[in-house]
Structure formats: C-alpha cells, structure tokens
C-alpha cells in the first residue's frame, strides 16, 4: 500500500469528522450566514499566507527539481490568484469580519508551522496533503450537490472541486509516496490526524 493511501486509511475517522464539520455542512446546504462567511474570509486569508510559507519551506527542502518547481508554482498561485480572491470577496461581502476572527482561528497556522519546522519536507507534504484532501472531499461534495450560494462562496467551492486542484492533491500524494522508506510512518500519521483536528477547530472559530 502506498504511503499516501496508508495515511488516508489510518486517519479515516478524523477525516470523516472534518468533512462533516459545521462550516462544510452549512456551505454544502446553502445556509451559511453572512457573518460566519465574513469571518471565514478573514481566517482563510490568514492561512493562505501560512500555506505559502509551507510551500516555500518545501522549495528549500525539495529532493529534486520537479518538487521544487511544483511548490514554487503553488507559492505563486497562493500569493496572486488566491490573494486576489480574498481581496475581491471581502470588498464585496455585505458585512466585515469581526476584529478577533484571525486570532480565534490561529490554531491551524500554529500547528502547521510547528510541525513543518520540526519535520521538514516530509512533514510539509503530510500537512498539505491532509488539508487539501479535506478540501477536495468536502468541496467536491458541495459542488456536486449544487446548493452552495452563488457568488464568492460558490467560486471558492468550485476552485477546490476542479481538476487543477485535484491534480495538486494527486501531486502531493506522489511526493509522499516518493519519500525514502527510512522515513517512519508514525510521526506522519500523527501530523495528518493533528492537521485534521486543527482544521475542525479552525473552521469552528467562525461561530465563536
């Protein structure tokens, strides 16, 4: 069994809880409130900056040119296309985020950056694979069912349900599968599960 598949199977329970978290369900069923999504725009924009840092660390530690190039492209996309989405969406949204939104949701960035600093490239690939597998799963389900509110919310969901995003998740899986056999699975399983728990707490913060 591949390493990426082993991680998914070992963490199936926290993944199912994360896929079914309140925020994902309210987006999927079209009942997400304006204030909750305003806070989400603020906290997710802050995590995009963290994701850029994670990919930047992966560029530094990448084992070869292909991995270096892919992570560099990810940094570019996060700091251009995704940053532009948040600027546009926040400017158009009917209510602003509450002032403490980013502070309430700091757990995800804190967990991811600490894990990356300690575990290096294998940890970064694991953390990103956990986060992006979660988003691919719940956004694909929401997009398929077609009840997501039109506008910025539907745009964000469609971005994470599209073929380009799926290809990025598949690339992360290949990078994990290519790790040397000497890299132990235990710490990566703990990072993967921990990232999912942090994702749940992060998204729950929009309701605080």
CB 202 within 8 A of CB 23: no
Angle between helices 34-61 and 107-145 (to 10 degrees): 110
120: left (phi over 0), alpha (psi -120 to 50) or beta: left
Residues with Cβ < 8 Å from 16, sequence gap 6 or more? none
Q: What is the mean pLDDT of residues 97-101?
A: 94
Q: What is the pLDDT of residues 153-196, one digit of tens each?
A: 999 999 999 999 999 999 999 999 999 999 999 999 999 999 99
What is the pTM assigned to this prediction? 0.95
Residue with tokens 């660390």: 57
Nearest to 133 by CA among 196, 178, 78: 196
Reported as a single tens digit per residue, the pLDDT across 57-86 is 999 999 999 999 999 999 999 999 999 999
Note the Cα 62 to chain centre separation in Å: 20
In this prediction, residues 113-118 reach a mean pLDDT of: 96
């Amino acid at each position: 069994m591949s390493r990426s598949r082993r991680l998914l199977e070992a963490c199936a329970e926290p993944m199912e809880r994360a896929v079914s978290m309140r925020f994902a369900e309210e987006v999927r069923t079209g009942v997400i409130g304006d204030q909750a999504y305003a806070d989400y725009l603020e906290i997710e924009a802050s995590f995009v900056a963290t994701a850029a840092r994670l990919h930047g660390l992966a560029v530094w530690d990448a084992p070869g040119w292909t991995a270096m190039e892919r992570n560099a492209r990810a940094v570019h996309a996060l700091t251009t296309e995704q940053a532009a989405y948040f600027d546009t969406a926040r400017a158009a949204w009917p209510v602003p985020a509450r002032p403490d939104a980013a502070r309430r949701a700091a757990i995800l960035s804190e967990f991811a950056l600490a894990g990356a600093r300690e575990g290096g490239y294998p940890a970064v690939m694991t953390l990103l694979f956990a986060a992006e597998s979660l988003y691919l799963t719940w956004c694909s389900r929401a997009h398929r069912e077609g009840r997501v509110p039109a506008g910025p919310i539907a745009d964000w969901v469609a971005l994470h349900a599209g073929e380009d995003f799926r290809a990025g998740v598949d690339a992360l899986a290949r990078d994990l599968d290519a790790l040397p056999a000497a890299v132990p699975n235990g710490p990566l399983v703990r990072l993967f599960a921990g990232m999912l728990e942090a994702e749940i707490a992060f998204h729950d913060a929009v309701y605080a």
